[in-house]
Amino acid sequence: MFHRLCSSLSRSSSIITTFPKSIKSPPFPFPRSLRRAAPTTLSFSSFKMSDNQPPIPSPTKQETLRSLEFHLGSPFTPDPIVPPPNQLIIVISGPSGVGKDAVINKLRESRERLHFVVTATTRPMRPGEVDGKDYFFVTRESFLSMAENDELLEYALVYGEYKGIPKKQIRESMSGGEDVVLRVDIQGAQTLRRILGNSAVFVFLVAESEAAMVERLVDRKTESQEELLVRVATAREEVRHLKSFDYVVVNAQGRLDEAVRRVEAIIDAEKSRVHQRVVRI
């Protein structure tokens, strides 16, 4: 078998005898013990065998590696071939009641190394909400002083209350190696697109239908009839802004997990981009 392999390699020796000139004089000393097994010019004709010659022992893995390094002219390094992916800013947006909080809460459980930026707001706390977790509930005065001191990435007046994103949280999380998730309404997403351009990933969440979205909002029982009217009318208008987003994810009734998996898939895809997004804030 070995004999047949050698004869066949001997016949095809011409295909591998040409190497770049640089390979002939490697920049590092070749181990003495391997000199016999690694001629400076490879030619399988030197391996011709007769039946009574002792078999040439096959090189060990280490010998093969050293030989390859010798012929290629440089040692193999364990350094990563590509640098680690950049940290991301993922902006999750969508009309009121579409399930932004629901998706984000699930993502919080399923994905590590994500920082969910806590928005500062002047709106009153809803039952079950926790200050510092759901929002930073602040007074109008302190909110406006943060805005004046340029401490907010963006802010807006939403349904009569201020909402804004503290810059400090984003900087600290990203420098600690975490990706950052921002949950904003459509108006906020539009502003962030203007500020961040293509450096952030914009995800638009939608319900499977307008009827499903309105039902969810009504079932939540957190808005008065008048507030519902404004939110639903606004939502109709907001779907038109879909075009300025990078991805759209349908959060269908009873299929929250599927929507969360899609958002995770988007993050994974972004991490595999050849041309990574670079955030500067």
Which residues 232-251 are close enough to bind ligand ATP by CB under 6 A?
251
In b/e form, how buried is each residue of 135-147, taking b as 16+ CB within 10 angstroms? bbebeeeebeebe
Verify whether residue 280 is a known catalytic residue: no
Nearer to ligand ATP, 38 or 97 (CB): 97
Number of Cβ within a 10 Å radius of residue 42? 15
Please say which residue, 98 or 120, places its beta carbon nearer to ligand ATP.
Answer: 98
Cα–Cα separations (whole angstroms), residue 122 to 133, 158, 161, 163? 15, 10, 6, 7
Among 15, 124, 254, 280, binds ligand ATP (CB under 6 A): 254
Provide φ and ψ at 57, rounded to 5°: -65, 140
Q: Which residue is nearest to ligand ATP (CB)?
A: 99
By CB under 6 A, the residues from 205 to 234 that bind ligand ATP are: 216, 220
- Residue 66 among the catalytic residues: no
The structure tokens listed for 174 are 């990203």
| From 111, 220, 261, 262, active-site residue | 220
For residue 121, state whether it binds ligand ATP (rule: CB under 6 A). Answer: no
- If the CB atoms of residues 71 and 100 are measured against ligand ATP, the closer one turns out to be 100
Selection from 40, 47, 7, 16 nearest residue 26 by Cα? 40
Is residue 231 within 8 Å of residue 217, measured between CB atoms?
Answer: yes
Q: Look up tokens 């639903």; give the residue.
A: 232
111 assigned to active site: no
101 contacts ligand ATP (rule: CB under 6 A):
yes
Catalytic residues: 126, 220, 231
Q: Which residues are near ligand ATP by CB under 6 A?
A: 94, 96-102, 216, 220, 251, 253-256
